[in-house]
Structure 1
Amino acid sequence: MKNAIKYGAVIGILSGIWILILHLAGAYENAYPNSDGFSWLEYLSIIIPFVGLYFGIKSFRDNYNGGRMEFFEGIFEGFKIMVVGGIIAAFFATVYIQYVAQSLKMDVMGRIGGAGVVGVLFTLAISLLLMNKQRNL
């Protein structure tokens, strides 16, 4: 769990900083009136969970699991990392919406759901990439 907390905290804190960067860059204010509110800068945010999950699952395999990892072990570790990161990122997003951008009208639940789907897909892909071959099924 120590590994999941470490890398989940990295993902959550970097995601919170990214929310601040988007605000300072004016990503939400410059959206077209008839658009859905997305900025091209928002799409860059998928790099944060991908890199965090990759290094977190790799660290789990190399440092905590003796250099071996089965597919489901990687998935389980990735989910733990994403839960920790999601809680921290949700805290930052809540503070941002409550105190900084009260008038910002965006579909927060849709974006949180999208982030969850991206996290699951990244976890599956990275677990497949980093797992050791099975000798017996």
Structure 2
Amino acid sequence: MAIVAAIDDSEGAATVLEEAQTLAADLEEELHAVHVLKRSELVDVLEKDVKGQDPIENYEAQQIGESIVSRALGESTLPDPTVSVRVGDPATEITAYAEKQDARYVVIGGRQRSPTGKALFGSVTQKVIFDSPAPIVSVGLE
């Protein structure tokens, strides 16, 4: 089993990762940090066609994830996570990764939104909460 931390490239990533590290240490579980790139973001980053290449295995894509997690870790003294970069829809990829890792918990950041905002715009956190194969720890980011 593992603790899976869903990390984006925001200031809140450090809070999510810190909570996940603490949970993993307390439960003596492995920690995995997963960052999801949309395919269009990957193509922009690579500035080349990725047709025929497994983008999850791509060195440049992995470096993006490693960099984001490194910034989020800061000067943490807790163990570093295993970093995985996925490509696709963030909510789908996070839940698929959690299922593959047999996650004990998924730690994800959440922001408060108005009812109108919830109705008009999809929320990755909301989709993960509904679809996750494991219990969710939602870390408030505001």
Normalised to the residue count of structure 1, the TM-score between the two structures is 0.36
With a CA cutoff of 8 Å and minimum separation of 6, indicate the structure with the bigger relative contact order: 1
Higher strand residue share? 2
More helix by share: 1
Q: Normalising by structure 2, report the TM-score.
A: 0.35
